[in-house]
Chains A and B, each alone.
Chain A
Amino acid sequence: MNLRTWLQNLLPKIIFSPSLLIVLVFIYSFMVWTAILSFTGSTVLPNYQFLGFANYVRLWSLPSWYIALKNLFLYGVCYIGGSLILGTLLAILIDQKIRLEGLFRPIFLYPMALSFMVSGTAWKWFFNPGIGLEKAMQDLGFANFHFDWIINADRAIYIIAIVAVWQSSGFVMAIFLAGIRGISEEVIKAAKIDGANIFQIYWRVILPQMAPALVSAVIILSHLAIKNYDLVIALTNAGPGNATEVPATFMYSYTFARTQMGVGSASAIIMLMTIASILIPYLYSQVREKH
């Protein structure tokens, strides 16, 4: 092997190594550090007094942690389910060879480009009963119109899901649209010749072939759901009371505001494990498919 080919072979590795190093240090090493901290009695600053699983025991005895998990479940189901249903419908509608498709696609996709902080703040005002939707409807003469979910401890979590669905369905639409367009025309034509109507074509022919798109969408949406932090902060700041606490806000509050870094780290590790339990089987199946 001469020097030239040797260098050529090496070049991609050289180019990738800095980013690999950065990822190793700033992501994986901090993950390990967090894992270590979760077994220590760290309070204001990290310390290395080993406590075993005490922080985990403590974590699972805290009522607010259960509130956070319950909210994650409710939010996750509504958010993933809502985005998938709405996104698929949008994709099917756009697929009808409509005019100005190039205009509609970005309109539905655009919310995804906003930061959760921006959409959260805007929707917070919209849902605020004193200045937003409720007041507008009452001013229009619908005196009995009430929509105060955002200040209702039992309903506020659904408000967060509604905003998140608004933000993400366009993205699901894009994934599904790409999937639908990827199906060969021949199959659809064959179905038409066999006398299938449009509903049957989508239900029996197109959607069953959408499995890869569905899996990607679910994976992306579920890790977004678990990481959800900024939207909650902007919309309700984990309130009213602590009714919309989610694991991410719980983690921040315990680590940084409540000087219980150990418990905060333990909750971060639980979140990491939840995400890993979704991602690892997926990555594994991807790797196996290729070989």
Chain B
Amino acid sequence: MKIKTIKRITQSFIFVLICLAFWYLRYPMSGWFNPVYFFQLSPLAAAASFFLMPVLLISAGLIIFTFIFGRVFCGWICPYGTLMDIAAFIAAPLRKYKETQPSFIKSKYFLLVLLTVFLFLGFQIFYMFEPVTAFARGFYFTLYSVKNNILVDVFGKIISANPGVTAETLNGFFKNFIIENRHVVFNNNIITFIFFAVPLFFVLIKRRFWCRYICPLGSCLAIIARFSLLKRKSLICSDGCLRCVSQCRMNAVKSDNSYVPHECILCGDCIDGPCGKESEFIFFMPFKKQHKLNEETGINRKDFILWSLAGLILFFGWKKIKDGNRNVIRPPGAEDEESFKVKCVRCGNCMKICVTNGLQPVLLESGFDGIWTPKLDPNTGYCEYECVLCTKVCPTGAIRKLTEKEKIYTKIGIAKIQKDVCVPWKDGLECLVCEEHCPVASKAIKLQKITVNGNEVQAPYIQEELCVGCSVCENKCPAFENNKKGIIVEPI
């Protein structure tokens, strides 16, 4: 079998596996594969978590793997890369191949150095470009939620129009295995989708444009892959057809039949011989010098120092607005605001698994460096009192692992009654929905008798030291006036 075919099968298999793992990341977490480990693969995640133990180990695994085999991750595993390949396949008739290598081939290394400098100065924007989390965000916030909602609606309509045993059985099957029993909504999902989809359109210029010029994970692996043990051995080629050069999706093969080891993603484009001849990969052959290496487009010391300086200047020129205050309600177990924003890799696991759909991606409420971090949005859901799912799925420890006992004492916000909206306070009518729902054992919402408009009613008030800010009161509050509810939870 051709290597290219094996690659394609492996790639689609892994892609489907990853999508399934993402899709089934939900309560009660009985899945056979937890995608958390997948996010921990990236060395960038390890850097963002400041070398937390499990992340460090797993990403070290990827580094060693890359040292032996080269950038197999980019070519065979990365889901975003697979998506690029699919997009390139579709866009093939529209694209014109260009052989020449643009001079900005070093751009991805520059980006990596810049982002690393930013990270260690406390400003993490890896999330913008990291391919695995970019794919996960696109999957969770747009593809998954839209697909799920369409399935829920279409399937519901079909079943309600054709009742019967078959429909009931199908319904049970669907609800157990395929869809959620409700609509899943994520805020600003159109913006997320644009960020997710635009890099896919770059394939119109070049196949794997993203991987060549932007991807920071790819450049991180490229630095290691330069010394990889598995190298390409090329047969002596004399007729000069140069088909392997124009076929290479990474421009790793040069016209003199040399190749750039850190650009090669082992996709097999050249191996199967577009010219009819064969070249092959051989394991651990650096001494025999049968392969011709082309070293001209890597990163060198001069570049590194220059770019670091440029990053520093850029950073201090930028002068981001820093304030340690929380503008949004964070999930329980979140670190203090500054280090939370640094550690969070924006994979969206916590928002996907949240059983009430209460965790939502932030857009700009918490600053530019807070995009796609999770917040608790009482309009869409609330924090289930004894649920610790989001703390279990955070890959970098931005949300600390909590036990159920710790969690019920973790304050994430504080409720405030709006006396100009709340029905008992304003109109003197009975309504104690918030008190009924308050999950705290001895009720953080207490009652007092008041007289309004001549009616004697029980009105709620908050005992602040008991309130944990779970937001169920705001979520269920029926009073709504002037764009605010009768009770509002503020971040703490």
Question: Do they bind each other?
Answer: no
Question: Interface on B for A, CB 8 Å cutoff?
Answer: none
Question: Interface on A for B, CB 8 Å cutoff?
Answer: none
